[in-house]
Amino acid sequence: MKKILLFAFLGAGLFTANAQNATLNVVLHPVQSIIVSTGSTTVNLVYDDATKYDAGVSLEMADHLQVYSTGGFQVSVSVPAANLENDITTGTGSTETIAANGITVQAATGSTTNTGGSYLPAVALSTTATPLFSSTTGGAANKYNVTYNGAGSDAYVGKDFAAGTAATTYTTQVTYTIAAN
């Protein structure tokens, strides 16, 4: 009986379990995107009476920008260089222009914005990307309001060149860029 117990004990020792380890890596790449919200890709600053030419025009676009960022970020705004004067051209085939820096934009908290944001005062449009707002933390589906302000003080009097009573439209693209902060 002693021999059976000894063999059983020795046999158990020969069949011990071996453990193996695996290394698990969670690799987080920085991801950032910015989207101009659907339905607000066209902004119209309409000057249709003398008061607006004198006082200027302001239009707030609610939840205009949607930002996704895995970390802190900064959003800048610019317009393409139409010519050396940073001007906005007419869409009617005319060579007339208005100064891009007569239009300012300003960001503010939207309906779902993370904490840690910092907003700059109104920024004049320029061909140089100019910081508009930033955040020290990332977040998913953060929304920001943007207010567009058109020049007042009759800056655009004499710039309506359409024949008859038709309106003249000056057009440019506004580009928003996101970068790590």
Is 11 within a domain? no
Residue 1 within a domain: no
In a domain, 71, yes or no: yes
Q: Is residue 92 part of a domain?
A: yes
Model confidence pLDDT, tens digit, residues 16-49: 689 999 999 999 999 999 999 988 899 999 999 9
Domain that holds residue 35: 31-180
In a domain, 13, yes or no: no
How many structural domains compose the chain?
1
- Do the domain assignments include residue 114? yes
Any domain includes 5: no
The Cα–Cα gap between 50 and 27 comes to: 59
What local confidence, expressed as pLDDT, does residue 146 receive?
A: 97
Residue 130 belongs to a domain with what CATH number? 2.60.40
- Domain assignment present for residue 167? The answer is yes
Q: Determine the pLDDT at residue 131.
A: 97
pLDDT of residue 159: 82
Q: What percent of the chain has pLDDT over 90?
A: 62
3-class SS at 60?
A: strand
Q: Tens digit of pLDDT for each residue in 52-83?
A: 999 999 999 999 999 999 999 999 999 987 65
Whole-number pLDDT of residue 91 = 65
Q: Cα(23)–Cα(15) distance, rounded to whole angstroms?
A: 26
Cα separation of 106 and 164, whole Å? 35
Residues 77, 176 contacting (CB under 8 angstroms): yes
Mean pLDDT of the 114-127 span: 89
Cα 67 vs. chain centroid, distance in angstroms? 6
As a whole number of angstroms, the distance between CA 150 and CA 48 comes to 13
Antiparallel, parallel or unpaired: β 32-36 and 57-69: antiparallel
Beta strands 97-99 and 104-109, pairing class: unpaired
pLDDT of 143-157, one tens digit each?
999 999 999 999 998
Give the C-alpha separation, 95 to 83, whole Å. 11
Tell whether the model's pLDDT for residue 90 goes beyond 90: no
